[in-house]
């Protein structure tokens, strides 16, 4: 009789494009498990009684239950179980930091590698999308109107849950395409946009209306949505899209981008296609300043756009890089060069004085200083300290600043009574209720830059609270 569990210590590896092939194209890097690999991997799950993996998942997906279904070859059954807790499994299976969530808690990780929960989630969602074409049925209407500001994972999840309850839901999105960071930030090679579009099409099938090119706070205010348009509750899921800069000399030169702008040009505007109407600088030597996931995405995008040398410039060491380990490894495999313990102090202009010269006002280099690590700071990471007389120049023609983002202050400025914190995060309680009655918020707009799954979880909680609020008012 074959053993019940597969006790192999390692995960089934993920089939992927070879590094020297993929660093020249924008197609998805990871290719996904076959059915055989998925069943084999699912058999590594011990179906633990105490389910530590479920506690590690921010939306508490019934992990062992869905994995058992995969092991039995019932992939649609597995999909139905995941769908009870997650509305974007094809997205989360690809981009969630499983190593610090479900997989970080997996019993199999104690003596070997954890079960590849993320890869199995992705497999199940992709299998469903490839084999089951049913579009969701339009729910019966309950006659109540709600508005959602922003169409990222928080807004999409909130909209989906409310639409399923029968609400008349309208999403107002500032950009010309819905999806938030999933379409403008995370590159195609990590998250194909067709997957996001399918989720948005499903929402439309549920009756959700999406009004694009609608910057709330400019075209309409939150107050107008409530008073003039008659929305009984509003959810703000406007994200944290305002980039930070270092405020060093030379940051206004041509060839200096925020990571958000650089990635938006490439992902949303498809600037990598030869016939795109949006330009993007094709550079030889690119420095990406920062060490998070966004920095890795920007560096890998710059490489794919044809740069010979792409540097990650980070003031702490490799150990302290905040990006996911998998993203750092992918970047290294693709030829990204890590210049750690290094901090920029000035971006240097080309030595050209004639304004008619195309090189006038462009980037020619970056002055940096070397750093060493001192005692841990408030974040718990060792504080970087400048080494005296260590300045040196790097030859670069493009600098991409990836230092973090904060919520855009527009909604705060145009919504009287909306309380925010010091860096613009909207103040909201556990259920997402803000300082204004009937106005809820969640996702990066409340937490500052975080993760897709946390934004989804916040959208879900707020949808339940909005429903309760509207029902209580209508008794």
Please give the residue ranges that form the binding site for ligand FAD (CB under 6 A).
95-96, 149-155, 172-175, 180-181, 185-186, 214-217, 237-239, 241, 263, 293-294, 297, 408, 410-411, 443-445, 449-453, 455
Q: Return the one option of ligand FAD, ligand SF4, none that residue 434 interacts with (CB less than 5 to 8 A, by type).
A: none
Binding partner at 185 among ligand SF4, ligand FAD, none, C-beta below 5 to 8 Å by kind: ligand FAD
Selection from ligand SF4, ligand FAD, none that 312 binds (CB < 5 to 8 A by kind) is none
In the complex with ligand FAD, which residue's Cβ is closer, 250 or 404?
A: 404
Q: How far is the CB of 365 from ligand FAD (least distance, A)?
A: 26
What span, in angstroms and rounded, lies between the C-alpha atoms of 460 and 396? 44
The correct pick among 48, 205, 246, 373 for binding ligand SF4 (CB under 6 A) is: 48
Q: Which residues within the stretch 61-80 sit at the binding site for ligand SF4 (CB under 6 A)?
A: 63-64, 67
Q: Which does 452 bind (CB under 5 to 8 A by kind): ligand SF4, ligand FAD, none?
A: ligand FAD
- Kind and range of the H or E run holding 325: helix 325-333
Tell me the backbone φ, ψ of residue 369, rounded to 5 degrees: -120, 155
> Between helices 153-164 and 193-205, what is the axis angle to 10°?
30
Residue 268: DSSP 8-state? I
CA distance 475 to 415: 28
Which helix (H) or strand (E) is 66 found in, with range? helix 63-72
Q: What is the dihedral of CA 405, 411, 416, 419, to 10 degrees?
A: -30
93-132 footprint of ligand SF4 as x/- string (CB under 6 A): -------------xxx------x-x---------------
Q: Which candidate, 134, 155, 113, places its Cα nearest to that of 205?
A: 134
Task: Look at residue 451 and give the partner it binds from ligand SF4, ligand FAD, none, a contact being a CB closer than 5 to 8 Å depending on partner kind.
Answer: ligand FAD
Closer of 126 and 188 to ligand FAD (Cβ): 188
Q: For the chain, what is the total number of helices (H) and then of strands (E)?
A: 18, 16
What value, to the nearest 5°, has the Cα angle with vertex 356 and ends 353 and 362? 60
Q: What is the DSSP string of 156-206?
A: HHHHHHHHHTT-EEEEE-SSSSS-THHHHTS-TTTS-HHHHHHHHHHHHHT
Distances (CA, A) of 180 to 2, 174, 302, 452: 47, 9, 21, 10
Backbone angles phi, psi at 231, to 5 degrees: -75, 130
Of 74 and 232, CB closest to ligand SF4: 74
Find the shortest distance in angstroms from Cβ 57 to ligand SF4.
10
Q: Give the shortest CB-132-to-ligand SF4 separation in angstroms.
A: 24
Nearest approach, Cβ of 95 to ligand SF4 (angstroms)?
19
Report the partner that residue 408 touches, choosing among ligand SF4, ligand FAD, none (CB closer than 5 to 8 A by kind).
ligand FAD
The reply on whether position 52 binds ligand SF4 by CB under 6 A is yes
Residues of this chain that bind ligand SF4 (CB under 6 A): 45-48, 51-53, 63-64, 67, 106-108, 115, 117
């Amino acid at each position: 009789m074959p053993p019940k569990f597969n006790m192999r210590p390692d995960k089934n590896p993920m089939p992927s494009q070879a590094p020297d092939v993929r660093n020249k194209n924008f197609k998805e890097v990871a290719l996904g498990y076959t059915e055989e690999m998925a069943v084999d991997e699912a058999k590594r799950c011990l179906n633990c009684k105490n389910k530590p993996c479920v506690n590690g998942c921010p939306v508490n997906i019934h992990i062992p239950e869905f994995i058992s279904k995969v092991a039995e070859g019932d992939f649609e059954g597995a999909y139905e179980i995941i769908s009870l807790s997650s509305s974007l499994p094809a997205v989360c299976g690809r981009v969630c930091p499983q190593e610090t969530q479900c997989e970080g808690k997996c019993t199999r990780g104690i003596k070997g590698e954890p079960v590849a929960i993320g890869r199995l989630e992705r497999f199940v969602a992709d299998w469903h999308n490839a084999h089951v074409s049913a579009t969701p049925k339009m729910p019966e209407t309950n006659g109540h109107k709600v508005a959602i500001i922003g169409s990222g994972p928080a807004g999409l999840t909130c909209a989906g849950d409310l639409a399923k309850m029968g609400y008349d839901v309208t999403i107002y999105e500032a950009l010309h395409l819905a999806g938030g960071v999933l379409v403008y930030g995370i590159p195609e090679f990590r998250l194909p946009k067709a997957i996001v579009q399918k989720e948005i099409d499903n929402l439309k099938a549920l009756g959700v209306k999406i009004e694009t090119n609608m910057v709330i706070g400019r075209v309409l205010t939150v107050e107008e949505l409530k008073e003039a348009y008659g929305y009984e509750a509003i959810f703000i899921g406007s994200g944290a899209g305002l980039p930070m800069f270092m405020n060093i000399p030379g940051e206004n030169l041509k060839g200096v981008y925020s990571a958000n702008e650089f990635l938006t040009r490439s992902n949303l505007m498809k600037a990598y296609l030869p016939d795109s109407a949006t330009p993007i600088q094709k550079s030889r030597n690119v420095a990406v300043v920062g060490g998070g996931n966004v920095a890795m995405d920007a560096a890998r995008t710059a490489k794919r756009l044809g740069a010979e040398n792409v540097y990650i410039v980070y003031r702490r060491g490799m150990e302290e890089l905040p990006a996911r380990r998998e993203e750092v490894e992918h970047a290294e495999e693709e030829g990204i060069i890590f210049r750690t313990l290094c901090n920029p102090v000035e971006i240097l202009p080309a030595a050209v004085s004639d304004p008619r010269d195309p090189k006038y006002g462009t980037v020619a280099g970056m002055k940096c200083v070397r750093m060493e690590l001192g005692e841990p700071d408030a974040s718990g990471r060792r504080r970087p300290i400048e080494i005296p007389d260590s300045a040196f120049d790097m030859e670069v023609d493009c600098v991409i600043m990836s230092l973090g983002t904060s919520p855009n202050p527009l909604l705060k400025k145009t919504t009287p009574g909306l309380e925010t914190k010091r860096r613009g995060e909207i103040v909201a309680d556990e259920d997402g209720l803000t300082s204004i009655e009937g106005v809820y918020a969640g996702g990066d707009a409340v937490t500052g830059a975080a993760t897709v799954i946390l934004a989804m979880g916040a959208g879900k909680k707020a949808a339940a609270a909005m429903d309760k609020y509207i029902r209580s008012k209508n008794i």
